[in-house]
Chain A
């Protein structure tokens, strides 16, 4: 009985991480839509047109139903990491980006404790790993940790944060990395097909 419960819990957690990953991807594409149009890169939010926000909220709701702390802590972490780089512009709340980021992190740690820490670490890992891979593509904009810190430093920091995530929650660490690659692959397949059909028509 216990064995079965743990299996269900594992499945719920993995699915929750996958859905939250999709929500984070939609949110990221919403913020980067202007840059992606200029770079002529595929963008999930533009592809979904007006469906981006409702689908995002629906997926987040489903993820929260599956595993409340994991979904919310991952979402908070992605928000905090995304906002941490904004140091000069004021947000609609009247605060600077990094102030909002700090507030969300403190709130998350207050609510979820170690769950928030592991989520923060895995999101930082994914951000650093993504910047390491995009080193060549982001040479123009230079909004990239691999430029700020150096390529090897970026990779080593990603490894450190990944190991720290494994220390706190190994299921989250492994399934997040797998989910990230699956999401990127699915989007590549979907938007690649869309582009092909556009060219065909």
Chain B
């Protein structure tokens, strides 16, 4: 009788834990995607500035050509 009660209590506890885990994981996944999408453009820009390689097409920027319009002005 005591064993049965302990069993049912364990089932209830695991069920509550499962519910919390399942809801938390799904909500966390959605939040993670939104956060990732907002960070992604900034991160791409950082990568491009640091490596001079486009993170989308992996093409290297033409570093020999001087495109600086401010300093090349006559």
Residues of chain A having any CB pair with chain B under 8 Å: 149-150, 152-153, 156-157, 159-160, 163-164, 166-167
Q: Does B35 contact A (CB under 8 A)?
A: no
Contact A156 B25 (CB under 8 A): no
Contact A153 B18 (CB under 8 A): yes
A169 to chain B, nearest CB (A): 12
Contact B14 A163 (CB under 8 A): yes
Contact B17 A156 (CB under 8 A): yes
CA of A109 to CA of B58, assembled, Å: 63
Q: Across chains A and B, which 6 residue pairs bring their CB atoms closest together, nearest first?
A: A156-B18, A167-B7, A163-B11, A153-B22, A160-B14, A160-B11
Residues 50-65 of B, flagged 1 when their CB comes within 8 A of A and 0 if not, give: 0000000000000000
Q: Does B21 contact A (CB under 8 A)?
A: yes
Contact B18 A163 (CB under 8 A): no
| B17 contacts across to A, CB distance below 8 A | 156
Residues 1-27 of B, flagged 1 when their CB comes within 8 A of A and 0 if not, give: 000100110110011011001100100
CA of A166 to CA of B10, assembled, Å: 12
Contact B14 A159 (CB under 8 A): yes
Can you list 6 pairs linking A and B with CB atoms under 8 Å apart? A152-B25, A153-B18, A153-B22, A156-B17, A160-B15, A166-B7
Range for the number of chain B residues in contact with chain A: 10 to 19
Contact A167 B11 (CB under 8 A): yes
Contacting B8 at CB < 8 Å: which of A149, A156, A157, A167? A167
Known: A152-B25, A156-B17. 10 other contacts (CB 8 A): A149-B22, A153-B18, A153-B22, A153-B25, A156-B14, A156-B18, A160-B14, A160-B15, A160-B18, A164-B11
Contact B11 A157 (CB under 8 A): no
Contact B25 A167 (CB under 8 A): no
B2 to chain A, nearest CB (A): 13
B11 to chain A, nearest CB (A): 5
Residue of A nearest to B21 (CB): A152
- Residue in A150, A152, A160 whose Cβ sees the most chain B Cβ within 10 Å: A160
Residue of B nearest to A166 (CB): B7
Residue of A nearest to B8 (CB): A167
CA of A166 to CA of B11, assembled, Å: 11
| B7 contacts across to A, CB distance below 8 A | 163, 166-167
Residue of B nearest to A150 (CB): B25
Contacting A167 at CB < 8 Å: which of B4, B18, B22? B4
Residue of B nearest to A156 (CB): B18
CA of A163 to CA of B4, assembled, Å: 10
Q: Do A150 and B11 contact each other (CB < 8 Å), given the known contacts A156-B17, A167-B4?
A: no
A98 to chain B, nearest CB (A): 22
